[in-house]
Amino acid sequence: MSNKSLILSNLAVQDAALCDDCISESLKIHPRQQVNPICNRLCNRGDILREKSVCAQCHKFKTTNRKTNQLNMNENQASKERHIKTVQPITYRIEYSDFERRVKQYLENMYQTEFHEQSLPVGFNKNHKFDLVSEDKQIVAECKSYTWTKSNNFPSAKVSTAIEALFYLSRINVKKKIVIFQDHRNNRGESLVEIFTRRYDGIIDDVEVWAYNVKDTVKNDRVTIIRPPKENWYKTFSRII
């Protein structure tokens, strides 16, 4: 099997975004520089999507590759429309209230503790109600569920609630803070949560960002860490000055 076929097959099986380095290591394609031109050609043909995101294997923010589905086209159309790409659609999408309950189940299974909606102090005489808080109050999660607009534009007005959530998360001192998005992709194959993370990375600070893809059962649900937590900007700034 050629390296091109190996890469396509591996991406189809993994159903995740992988960087060139991890593809090279997994498939033993050496030197790794061979992977880059192959993936670029596959991207130009519309077989894969190449973009900046977090690799599902090494969890680093790099150029990654994700398998796409070719649109149904005849050969004449294909020669003219190679630039059009779509990804495997998310199998399930649920209402927000159901999504929050689903995430609650997932977190309780993962951390072996109960999670509840709870108010925490975020300032003098000011409390804020967070979606999911662990029993020891050391893990706090906010759930968000947005979709691209009908014209495939980023829903800037709607995501203002996620920015507000980031502000309140910045006001609490806990071990782990998570914003969990029910992910959605437009017909260009762009992940809403990945675009959000790129746009607002500078204010996310020590918050972990998840893309949560709902499957048939909570056991089969797939979570991708789009952005690991980083330092608080104000703490870094205080050291500089």
Tell me: pLDDT of 28 over 80: yes
Instruction: Give 69's pLDDT tier (boundaries 50, 70, 90).
Output: low
Please report the domains of the chain, with CATH numbers, ordered by start residue. Answer: 3-87 (1.10.10), 96-240 (3.40.1350)
Task: Give the C-alpha separation, 61 to 226, whole Å.
Answer: 8
Question: For residue 13, is pLDDT > 80?
Answer: yes
pLDDT given at position 235: 63
At 12 the three-state DSSP class reads helix
Q: How confident is the model at residue 113 (pLDDT cuts 50, 70, 90)?
A: very high
Question: What is the average pLDDT value for the chain, to the nearest integer?
Answer: 85
**pLDDT exceeds 70 at position 115:** yes
pLDDT score, position 226: 94
pLDDT at 88: 42
> What is the model's pLDDT at position 234?
62
Provide mean pLDDT across the span 32-49. Answer: 89
Structure tokens at 91: 């199998």
Is residue 94 within 8 Å of 103, Cβ to Cβ? no
Q: What is the pLDDT of residue 53?
A: 77
Mean pLDDT computed over 54-59? 82
Q: Is the pLDDT of residue 99 over 80?
A: yes
DSSP result, 125-180: TEEEEEEEEETTS-EEEEEE-----TTS---TTTTHHHHHHHHHHTT---SEEEEE
pLDDT of residue 50: 87
Tell whether the model's pLDDT for residue 70 goes beyond 70.
Answer: no
How confident is the model over 97-113, as a mean pLDDT? 95
* pLDDT tens digits for range 119-143: 999 999 999 999 999 999 999 999 9
Q: How far apart are CA 145 and CA 162, in angstroms?
A: 10
- Average pLDDT rounded to a whole number, residues 105-126: 95
pLDDT in tens, 148-207: 998 889 999 999 999 999 999 999 999 999 999 999 988 888 899 999 999 999 999 999
* pLDDT over 50 (residue 76): no
The CA–CA distances, whole Å, from 229 to 141, 208, 240 equal 13, 5, 20
Give CA–CA dist 213/202, Å, rounded: 25
* Pair of tokens at residue 215: 């499957």
pTM of the model: 0.61
Q: Is the pLDDT of residue 83 over 60?
A: no
